[in-house]
């Protein structure tokens, strides 16, 4: 059994170690995959933010161009019918220099302008502003329809050039949308790669940093032709993103560890119960064989050795047989009673009685039974001590404790009983000067059938039920039972019950 237990513990340990190792490798790979996914998320966030910044600039420039085209003090739009093209021709003319003009046809409108700022005029200006956006701004070119209009467009582009101040809140919003809000800064360069983001200037990205791919700024400033975003991606941030995954892994590991621990605990408990059972069977077999052998011997003497002819001898043999049968009956009753306690619990017949008187009765009975082997003393508080409980069960419990002291004590054995009481509880202690109980057995001393291991020796009679019964009685009275012992220094049992 011991070898099998060690093998099971070893197997559980190997399985737990292997599972922990595999889970560690999986978590490490998952961490690296999460880091790569974060890198992609950061690049996508930066790309979307750059696109949004550019579209917002285009929206602003389109509105400003529309406003300029509808300012009749600077630009005047008129129309005429072309017989040659069979379309309306629109003329855009500078009011500052009337020779600065150009004409075009707009098939999407193709309606005459009756007067300045009429609905056709406004729609034509809006269409021109939108065409300017699509054909010029989004293509990063400026077409000079008129000198003044081209100059104005060029001025707008310079005023509303790429600016990281506008890009920063947009990028922060994109990062938050992707649950990737990490610190970042921008990096300008004169020359950079638009395709390979791994081609980085020295020092731009450290071990815990991710650099995006670069974008052209179209700024007309030295050193600012390209821009990147550099993100600080510390391991703590990545681990925080994986916190639920890590928590689940830890919970699973703890659950498996606890399952193995619980399995090993059950196996140890079964092993211990098996040892207790074997010890109990060994002891009770001896106890059963002794009265049976004695009765058999008495009957054989009466049968074969003319025992019936001698009435005195007959009475003596019958008395011995009756005594042994009573002992056998007592043993069977004790085992059955223990089983009954387990099934239906201890049934109490409570009454109000004087505990001091009960203790004195038990002392007198024990002194009579043990004779000179027992020296018992009683530290009494003086006066009656009244309690409510089952008198018979409490008397049996105290008898069992003192009987244990006599069985396992010296010769003679000294037993001291102390009684302490207050308004809430009564404390009864029984101390002997015997050999004591090894510390490792103290937690099991009140367990059913448990006896301190002594091999197969039967120098002390018992079945491992006495102290179990004591604990059942005290707890049935809503009390507590405890033991303190050290080898060669004796044992102290403490029983506490409500007053």
* Domain CATH number, residue 330: 1.10.287.130
Query: Which of 115-129, 183-197, 224-238 comes out lowest in average pLDDT?
Result: 183-197
Which residues on neighbouring strands pair with residue 209, listed in sequence order? 232
Q: Are residues 308 and 227 in the same domain?
A: no
- 464 and 337 part of one domain: no
169 pLDDT more than 90: yes
Boundary-marking domain end, from 210, 236, 262: 236
Average pLDDT, the chain: 81
Same domain, 216 and 282: no
CA–CA gap between residue 110 and residue 87 (Å, rounded): 6
Residues 182 and 308 in one domain: no
Q: CA–CA separation, 61 vs 152, rounded Å?
A: 11
Same domain flag for 401 and 483: yes
What residue numbers bound the domain in which 313 lies? 272-342
Task: Please give the Cα distance from 37 to 212 (Å, whole number).
Answer: 13
Give per-residue pLDDT as tens, 145-156: 778 888 888 888
Domain presence at residue 8? no
Q: How far is CA 118 from the centre of its chain?
A: 73
d(C-alpha 482, C-alpha 471), whole Å: 9
The Cα–Cα gap between 118 and 112 comes to 10
124, part of any domain: no
> 458-480 pLDDT, tens per residue?
455 666 778 888 898 899 889 99
Higher pLDDT, 320 or 79: 79
**417 domain-assigned:** yes
Residue 334 is encoded by which pair of tokens? 């004790």
274, pLDDT greater than 60:
yes
- Cβ neighbours of 416 (radius 10 Å): 17
State the helix-helix crossing angle for 243-304 and 311-344, rounded to 10 degrees.
160
Token pair for residue 423? 């308004």
Residue in this structure with the two tokens 């506490």, named with its chain if needed? 496
C-alpha to C-alpha distance for 316 and 278, rounded to whole angstroms: 36
94 domain residue, yes or no: no
Indicate whether 89 pLDDT > 80: yes
Mapping DSSP onto H, E and C, the string for 73-96 reads CCEEEEEEEECCCCEEEEEEEECC
Q: Are residues 306 and 423 in the same domain?
A: no
pLDDT of residue 306: 62
* Ordered strands of the 490-498 beta sheet: 374-379, 413-421, 425-432, 490-498, 480-486
User: In which element (H, E) is residue 262 found?
Assistant: helix 243-304
The answer to whether the beta carbons of residues 132 and 62 sit under 8 Å apart is yes
- pLDDT tens, 250-270? 898 888 888 888 888 888 877
Residue 433 lies in a domain: yes
- As a residue count, the chain comes to 499
Q: What pLDDT is recorded for position 423?
A: 82
Q: Provide the 10 A C-beta neighbour count for residue 477.
A: 23
324 neighbors 295 (Cβ within 8 angstroms): yes
Judgement on whether residues 335 and 350 belong to the same structural domain of the protein? no
What is the distance between the alpha carbons of residues 86 and 93, in angstroms, rounded to a whole number? 22
> How far is 72 from 480, CA to CA, in rounded Å?
103
């Amino acid at each position: 059994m011991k070898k099998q237990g060690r093998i099971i513990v070893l197997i559980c340990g190997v399985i737990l170690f292997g599972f922990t190792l595999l889970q560690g490798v999986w978590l490490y790979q998952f961490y690296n995959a999460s880091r790569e996914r974060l890198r992609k998320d950061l690049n996508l966030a930066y790309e979307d933010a750059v696109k949004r910044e550019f579209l917002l600039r285009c929206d602003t420039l389109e509105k400003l161009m529309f406003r300029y085209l509808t300012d009749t003090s600077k630009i005047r739009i008129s129309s005429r019918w072309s017989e040659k093209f069979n379309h309306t021709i629109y003329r855009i003319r500078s009011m500052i220099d009337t020779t600065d003009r150009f004409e075009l046809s707009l098939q999407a409108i193709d309606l005459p302008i009756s007067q300045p700022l009429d609905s056709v005029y406004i729609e034509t200006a809006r269409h021109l502003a939108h065409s300017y956006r699509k054909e010029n701004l989004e293509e990063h070119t400026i077409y000079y329809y008129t000198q003044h209009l081209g100059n104005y467009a060029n001025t707008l582009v310079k005023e509303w050039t790429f600016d990281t101040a506008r890009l920063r809140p947009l990028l922060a919003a994109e990062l938050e949308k992707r649950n990737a809000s990490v610190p970042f800064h921008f990096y300008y360069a004169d020359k950079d790669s638009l395709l390979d983001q791994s081609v980085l200037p020295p020092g731009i990205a450290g071990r815990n940093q991710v650099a995006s791919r670069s974008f052209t700024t179209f700024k007309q400033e030295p050193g600012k032709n390209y821009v990147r975003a550099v993100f600080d991606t510390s391991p703590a941030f990545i681990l925080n993103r994986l916190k639920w995954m890590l928590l689940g892994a830890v919970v699973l590991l703890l659950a498996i560890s606890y399952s193995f621990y619980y399995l090993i605990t059950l196996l140890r408990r079964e092993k211990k119960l098996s040892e207790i059972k074997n010890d109990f069977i060994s002891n009770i077999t001896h106890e059963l064989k002794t009265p049976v052998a004695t009765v058999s011997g008495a009957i054989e003497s009466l049968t074969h050795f003319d025992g019936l002819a001698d009435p005195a001898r007959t009475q003596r043999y019958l008395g011995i047989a009756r005594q042994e049968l009573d002992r056998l009956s007592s043993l069977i009753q004790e085992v059955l009673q223990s089983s009954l306690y387990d099934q239906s619990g201890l049934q109490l017949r409570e009454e109000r009685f004087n505990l001091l008187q009960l203790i004195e009765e038990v002392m007198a009975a024990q002194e009579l039974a043990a004779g000179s082997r027992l020296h018992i003393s009683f530290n009494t508080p003086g006066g009656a001590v009244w309690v409510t409980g089952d008198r018979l069960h409490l008397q049996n419990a105290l008898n069992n404790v003192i009987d244990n002291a006599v069985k396992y004590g010296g010769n003679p054995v000294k037993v001291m009983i102390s009684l302490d009481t207050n308004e809430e509880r009564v404390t009864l202690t029984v101390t002997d000067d015997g050999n004591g109980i090894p510390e490792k057995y103290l937690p099991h001393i009140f367990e059913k059938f448990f006896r301190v291991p002594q091999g197969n020796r039967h120098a002390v009679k018992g079945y491992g039920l006495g102290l179990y019964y004591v604990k059942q009685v005290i707890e049935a009275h809503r009390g507590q039972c405890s033991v303190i012992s050290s080898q060669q220094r004796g044992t102290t049992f403490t029983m506490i019950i409500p007053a």
